[in-house]
Amino acid sequence: MMNEKHSSVCYIFREGAFSPVREAKPFRNDFCLDLFQYKGAVYEGRTGLHLCPLQEFPLLTFNTFTPMTKNTKSFALPLAFIGVMFFSLGFALGINSVLVPVLKGSLEISSAESYLIIAATFIPFLIFGYPAGLTIKKIGYKRTMVLSFLMFAIAFGLFIPSASYESFPLFLLASFISGTANAYLQAAVNPYITILGPIDSAAKRISIMGICNKLAWPIPPLFLAFLIGKEVTDITVADLFLPFYVIIAAFIALGIIAYMAPLPEVKAVGEDDSEEAAEACPYAAKKTSIWQFPHLLLGCLALFLYVGVETVSLGTLVDYATSLHLENAAMYAWIAPIGIVIGYICGIIFIPKYMSQATALKICSVLAIIGSVLVVLTPADISIYFISFMALGCSLMWPALWPLAMADLGKFTKSGSSLLIMAMAGGAVIPTLFGYLKDISDIQKAYWICLPCFLFILYYGVAGYKIRTK
């Protein structure tokens, strides 16, 4: 927001708008980035985003970059690195879509028991969501990302003896460690991409990352089928050794890449516990606890339900196709991701230029409600395709829910992020209930569990996110 002459009148982005400030000291770093100094802090010149306290500025001289603007080329590289990380998150979760039917067939366990694999992956979000936030505070976003990839490597290393001994408890433990790694990486990359630029365009950035994430979900069935040389329906636990060795090597390589990646530390507006932070976010400055933000707490519940139903839509397709005795069951894993990616593309195009994040959430909730009803009520061999419609509704829920819930948190930003990460435990609860409903009825009727979840998310998009206290 600085003009070409480096005027002393600059703009600070706060609470979704730009506020003019005077007596700012403009300057340009070694990489020709327009910056300015104001009240002991360094701000980016064109966006007005807070970068760091002035005393930490020397740390930025090499890795400094600006958020996404038409004039910014340096943003592409950090965005690419974060995109790779989102892809790895989706790939690690997509493994479950293969393990559920494979373990059910090889170990002769019930559907409810097989879906415990998904539960074991998501329970760590509840346990480690807050510790992950503390870790980020201690070592920063970047080092937390590196740590998570090392944990992924350990988890998939444990999958090897799990397959060797055909031990279901060991599979659950390996999935738990993988989920822990996922929780730490989610805790780092999601707030990072949210505060990387203006809050009103956060959904656009998250949508871009979401495409990377959701396109990774259907890859594991095809990846395993290719390496093993069998159809997914014919894979047994004895076939899993080679794929897991390859995955371990990939995650070690990603850890090295994350360590070397030019990713600077960033902070949300008002995140510092200081006079300047209080001025930047006065709503949060009046609060003494994270529990005093009703829009955040309702957002956590909405996110809990969303992660659960999205996991159902993404993680049950191979099982559903297998139950219907459809050929090439692995190919059906693409139904939901295609719907989600279409939604993400719409988010990139329309948010925030043509619609707000709240509007996107309302539209997607209605689409998901319609899709979930059609999945249950249409003939089974047709209903599997309507999961794509339900997934289309899910698409912009995450990009919209996250910034809506994190709005106006100020100094509580990292704590709020930790609660949202903990809410991802919905991915453990809802799919497990789905597996139980499948055992007592059938898999098609089990999709009824999605309807009340989408109804609450619709409420949050209409009214829940607006609730504020004095």
**41 lies in the same domain as 138:** no
Mean pLDDT of the chain: 80
The residue-averaged pLDDT of 378-391 equals: 91
Residue 395 confidence class, pLDDT cut points 50, 70, 90: confident
pLDDT at 62: 30
Pair (108, 218) in one structural domain: yes
User: Does residue 116 lie within any of the structural domains?
Assistant: yes
Residues 166-179: tens digit of each pLDDT: 999 999 999 999 99
Mean pLDDT check: name the lowest of 71-75, 232-236, 366-370, 412-416: 71-75
- Considering the domain boundaries, does residue 202 fall inside one? yes
Residue 332 has pLDDT above 70, yes or no: yes
Backbone angles phi, psi at 27, to 5 degrees: -160, 175
Contacts of 342 (CB under 8 A, 6+ apart): 392, 395
Q: How far apart are the first and last CA of the chain?
A: 32
Shared domain for 87 and 48, answered yes or no, is no
Q: Do residue 100 and residue 197 come from a single domain? A: yes
Question: Residue 70: what pLDDT?
Answer: 40
Which residues face 219 on adjacent strands? none
Same domain, 407 and 302: yes
**How far is Cα 445 from Cα 377, in angstroms, rounded to an integer?**
9
Are residues 385 and 241 part of one domain? yes
Alpha-carbon span 312 to 330, nearest angstrom: 16
User: Is 4's pLDDT higher than 50?
Assistant: no
**Mean predicted confidence (pLDDT) in 267-283:** 56
Of residues 398 and 115, more confidence is placed in: 115
In a domain, 2, yes or no: no
Give me the domain span that covers residue 393: 76-264+287-466
User: Strand pairing partners for 52?
Assistant: 42
Nearest CA among 181, 145, 147 for reference residue 263: 145
Tokens (6 digits) for 163: 């397959």
DSSP state for residue 60 in the 8-state scheme? G
Domain count, the chain: 2
- CA gap 322, 265 in Å, rounded: 46
pLDDT for position 370? 95
Q: Tell me: pLDDT of 17 over 60.
A: no
Assess whether 332 and 385 both reside in one domain. Answer: yes
Higher pLDDT, 42 or 99: 99
CA 374 remoteness from chain centre: 27
71 found inside a domain: no
Q: Strand pairing of 41-44 and 34-38?
A: antiparallel
User: Are 33 and 173 found together in one domain?
Assistant: no
The verdict on residue 4 lying in a domain is no
pLDDT digits 0-9 by tens, 57-69 = 443 333 333 333 4
Q: Does 138 lie in the same domain as 18?
A: no
The whole-number pLDDT of residue 337 equals 87
CB 94 within 8 A of CB 218: yes
CATH of the domain at 190: 1.20.1250.20
The residue ranges of DSSP E strands in 163-257, in sequence order, are none
- Tell me what pLDDT residue 12 has: 56
C-alpha–C-alpha distance, residues 333 and 222, integer Å: 9
In whole angstroms, what is the distance from residue 259 CA to residue 92 CA? 20
d(CA 97, CA 329): 11
Model confidence at 106: pLDDT above 70:
yes
The residue ranking higher by pLDDT, 124 or 58, is 124
Instruction: Tell whether 164 and 295 lie within a shared domain.
Output: yes
pLDDT at 378: 95
Q: What is the CA radius of gyration of the chain?
A: 22
* Whether 416 contacts 409, CB under 8 Å: yes
* CA distance linking residue 242 with residue 454, whole number of Å: 39
Is the model more confident about 187 or about 2?
A: 187
What is the H or E stretch that residue 321 is in?
helix 317-323
Q: Does 457 lie in the same domain as 424? A: yes
What letter does residue 41 receive in the DSSP assignment?
A: E
Flag whether 461 is in a domain: yes
67 domain-assigned: no
Flag whether 302 is in a domain. Answer: yes
Q: Which residue has the higher pLDDT, 125 or 18?
A: 125
**Paired tokens of 51:** 């970068």
The distance from CA 12 to its chain's CA centroid, rounded to whole angstroms, is 28
CA atoms of 200 and 45, how far apart (whole Å): 18
Report for 36-40, 197-201, 350-354: range of highest mean pLDDT: 350-354
Tokens of 12: 């600070």
Q: Are residues 231 and 343 in the same domain?
A: yes
